[in-house]
């Protein structure tokens, strides 16, 4: 069966049972900044699960593109993915457990539909917890359909309760359907821990609304929310060993064999991770998301970079991620047209991000290799320095160390990390007279951004620019500076660009104590110089520990500052105006 046949069969089955077909919502939820991505078909249906009337009625179905990163560590096995399609049907206060369960069973096992082997099915139902009782009703419905008692397991909230997707919202107990994919005969007794039992479909009985305070209120209607994994189901129907052998991955795997000149069967984990992550990244890019250091953009960046690193492990030396676009278009071009429409943008972004990351990787890897060459263990402090000085992604440090089988004290790393944050938070010795009013994380970010802005102003308008005042709050930074002429729009744009470039370069922020004389010799910008004592602290942005002279920004300052510019986000000037003769003011925000 092809993916298209499966999509069509599913929709047809529920259409025959009076469901209206909805289009897939976008991967990036519209009008909902509180969640990063669409992780299930029900996102766009939340108001209707809570009781609002849906214009299409009370029975709905659709195929939804989803992105989940909570299981990213598991990608590489036979079933886990970050991007996947979910087939779902919904009852909004219409049918409930009996119909939902019976229909899932019929769709999976009836000859005219998927014709799966009944003897390979197993079921989990919600077991009791302190507040809610065991879902005997669902178990009984399954038994009536012929599922043996010892193929039904009762599990707790962690496994058999779904939602809410955020802190609050609709949720409820669920019953999950597993299929045996092992080569041997399916065991009589179902053991949910055995990985040969793969979950293919989840039926959620959404009956509660979890409030912000953590209480569960009964919803005014009983809903059904289901999700069946397209890739997994396709693999089991076609008796394939994993989702990666389905037509939804094979062209990617083949392309990767060509690029790497290696065989998938010898490196299944690496191939799967690269194929999964780049497919997910391409879908996100198709919605015009760009890699960045915050939130959605950060997830995208992490997906691309992790894929690239696994590519390097396969000894792919050239820039290759963009070459995975053609097979993704081949697989999905007709179903998700945005991939085709935005193909130039996707390609451009992949190349840019891979080039950028290759540089960081090279630098960080050389140093890491040198450190581990003669050591059997890697201290938390060393890991931290690597992170701080090279912006080397944390999770990569951990992964590489694990691969090299080197002892690593993660706790020490965490402590080092905390200590440094503490240090930089409490480091305000009062020398930063510009008016840092609060030490919230946001304000600290604005403080570091102010240093970058100060430097960039001098780059563009000349060294005669001097700080005249600075004020930071949670919402914005304000910077007053001396300048005889109003800067042009182009100049302001240039300044903004420079600051953002520096943020993107993952520059480390290093603090050093030294004499005022030394600070001046290093070219540090000093304000209110007569107020400084003999010893000062200087913040360097972008320098290397042993060559601070080359740092981009050098400024005498009491802190606190962030550890690396990569947490700042996007810098934007929102206002430029005159405050008095020869003094001008910039207001800027970090997004």
Block residue for tokens 């160390």: 401
CB of 7 to ligand GLY, least distance (A): 17
Residue nearer to ligand GLY on the CB measure, 225 or 416: 225
CB of 461 to ligand GLY, least distance (A): 54
Contact residues for ligand GLY, defined by CB under 6 A:
40, 42, 162, 202, 204, 225, 227
State how far the Cα of 425 lies from the Cα of 423, in Å rounded to an integer: 5
Residue nearer to ligand GLY on the CB measure, 202 or 565: 202
Residue nearer to ligand GLY on the CB measure, 227 or 291: 227
Inter-CA distances, 417 with 250, 257, 410, 542, Å: 42, 40, 10, 19
Residue nearer to ligand GLY on the CB measure, 100 or 557: 100
Is residue 408 within 8 A of residue 382, CB to CB? The reply is: no
Residue nearer to ligand GLY on the CB measure, 225 or 353: 225
User: What number of CA atoms fall less than 13 Å from residue 68's CA on the CB side?
Assistant: 18
State how far the Cα of 448 lies from the Cα of 553, in Å rounded to an integer: 10
Find, among 564, 455, 456, the residue nearest to 509 by Cα.
564
- Strand runs labelled E in 27-157: 59-67, 83-92, 121-126, 152-155
CB of 101 to ligand GLY, least distance (A): 15
Residue nearer to ligand GLY on the CB measure, 126 or 162: 162
Inter-CA distances, 379 with 269, 374, 394, 423, Å: 28, 13, 14, 20
Token pair listed for 191 = 């053991």
Residue nearer to ligand GLY on the CB measure, 227 or 311: 227
State how far the Cα of 26 lies from the Cα of 287, in Å rounded to an integer: 8
Residue nearer to ligand GLY on the CB measure, 204 or 361: 204
Is residue 224 within 8 A of residue 89, CB to CB? The reply is: yes
| Other Cβ atoms closer than 10 A to 328 | 25
Is residue 361 within 8 A of residue 308, CB to CB? The reply is: yes
CB of 201 to ligand GLY, least distance (A): 8
Inter-CA distances, 502 with 315, 541, 550, 591, Å: 30, 9, 14, 15
Report CA 230 to chain centroid distance, whole Å.
Answer: 22
CB of 113 to ligand GLY, least distance (A): 20
Find, among 337, 246, 232, 351, the residue nearest to 283 by Cα.
337
User: What number of CA atoms fall less than 13 Å from residue 114's CA on the CB side?
Assistant: 29
CB of 448 to ligand GLY, least distance (A): 39
Q: What angle do CA 133, 136, 138 make, to 5 degrees?
A: 120
State how far the Cα of 180 lies from the Cα of 122, in Å rounded to an integer: 8
DSSP three-state, residue 394: helix
CB of 202 to ligand GLY, least distance (A): 4
Q: Which residues of 256-266 are buried (b: 16+ CB within 10 A; e: fewer)?
A: bbebbebebee
CB of 66 to ligand GLY, least distance (A): 8
CB of 382 to ligand GLY, least distance (A): 41
Residue nearer to ligand GLY on the CB measure, 138 or 202: 202
Residue nearer to ligand GLY on the CB measure, 177 or 235: 177
Residue nearer to ligand GLY on the CB measure, 49 or 278: 49
Residue nearer to ligand GLY on the CB measure, 175 or 292: 175
CB of 68 to ligand GLY, least distance (A): 9
Token pair listed for 168 = 């609050």
Question: Where does 314-429 have alpha helices with state H?
Answer: 325-332, 338-341, 343-373, 380-390, 394-403, 410-426
Task: Give the single-character DSSP code of 449.
Answer: H
Residue nearer to ligand GLY on the CB measure, 227 or 434: 227
**Dihedral in degrees, nearest 10, Cα atoms 591, 352, 28, 293:** -40
């Amino acid at each position: 069966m092809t993916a298209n046949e499966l999509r069509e069969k599913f929709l047809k089955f529920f259409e025959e049972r009076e469901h209206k077909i909805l289009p897939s919502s976008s991967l990036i939820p519209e009008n909902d900044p509180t969640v990063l991505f669409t992780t299930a078909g029900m996102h766009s249906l939340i108001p209707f699960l809570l009781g609002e009337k849906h214009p299409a009625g009370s029975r709905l179905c659709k195929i939804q593109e989803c992105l989940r990163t909570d299981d990213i560590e598991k990608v590489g096995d036979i079933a886990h993915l970050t991007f996947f399609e979910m087939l779902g049907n919904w009852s909004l206060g219409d049918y409930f457990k009996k119909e939902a369960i019976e229909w899932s069973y019929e769709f999976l096992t009836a000859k005219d539909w998927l014709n799966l082997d009944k003897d390979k099915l197993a079921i989990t139902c919600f077991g009791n917890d302190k507040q809610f009782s065991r879902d005997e009703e669902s178990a009984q419905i399954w038994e009536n359909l012929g599922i043996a008692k010892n193929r039904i397991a009762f599990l707790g909230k962690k496994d058999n309760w779904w939602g809410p997707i955020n802190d609050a919202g609709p949720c409820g107990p669920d019953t999950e359907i597993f299929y045996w994919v092992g080569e041997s005969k399916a065991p009589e007794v179902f053991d949910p821990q055995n990985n040969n039992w793969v979950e293919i479909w989840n039926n959620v009985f959404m009956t509660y609304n979890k409030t912000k305070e953590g209480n569960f209120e009964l919803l005014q209607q009983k809903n059904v929310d289901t999700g069946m994994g397209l890739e997994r189901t396709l693999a089991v129907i076609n008796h394939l060993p994993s989702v990666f052998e389905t037509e939804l991955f094979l062209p990617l795997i083949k392309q990767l064999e060509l690029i790497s000149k290696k065989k998938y069967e010898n490196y299944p984990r690496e191939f799967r991770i690269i194929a999964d992550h780049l497919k997910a990244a391409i879908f996100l890019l198709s919605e015009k998301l760009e890699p960045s250091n915050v939130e959605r953009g950060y997830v995208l960046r992490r997906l691309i970079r992790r894929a690239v690193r696994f590519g390097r492990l396969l000894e792919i030396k050239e820039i290759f991620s963009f070459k995975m676009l053609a097979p993704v278009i081949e697989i999905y071009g007709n179903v998700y047209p945005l991939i085709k429409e935005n193909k130039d943008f996707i390609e451009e972004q992949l190349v840019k991000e891979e080039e950028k990351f290759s540089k960081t990787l090279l630098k960080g890897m050389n140093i890491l290799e040198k450190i581990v060459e003669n050591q059997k263990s890697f201290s938390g402090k060393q890991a931290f320095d690597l992170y701080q000085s090279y912006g080397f992604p944390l999770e990569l440090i951990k992964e590489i160390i694990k691969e090299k089988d080197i002892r690593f004290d993660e706790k020490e790393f965490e402590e080092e990390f905390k200590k440094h944050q503490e240090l930089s938070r409490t480091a305000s010795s009062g020398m930063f007279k510009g008016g840092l009013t609060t030490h919230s994380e946001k304000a600290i970010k604005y403080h570091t951004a102010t240093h970058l802005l100060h430097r960039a102003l001098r780059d563009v308008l000349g060294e005669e620019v001097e700080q005249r005042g600075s004020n930071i709050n949670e919402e914005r930074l304000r910077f007053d500076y001396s300048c005889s002429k109003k800067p042009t729009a182009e100049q302001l744009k240039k300044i903004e660009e420079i600051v953002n470039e520096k943020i993107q370069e993952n520059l480390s922020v290093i603090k050093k104590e030294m004499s005022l004389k030394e600070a001046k010799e290093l070219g540090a910008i000093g304000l209110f110089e007569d107020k400084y004592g003999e010893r000062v602290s200087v913040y360097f942005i972008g320098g290397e520990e042993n060559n601070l002279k080359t740092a981009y920004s050098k400024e005498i300052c009491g802190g606190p500052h962030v550890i690396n510019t990569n947490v700042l986000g996007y810098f934007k000037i929102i206002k430029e105006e005159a405050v008095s003769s020869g003094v001008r003011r910039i207001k800027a925000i970090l997004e």
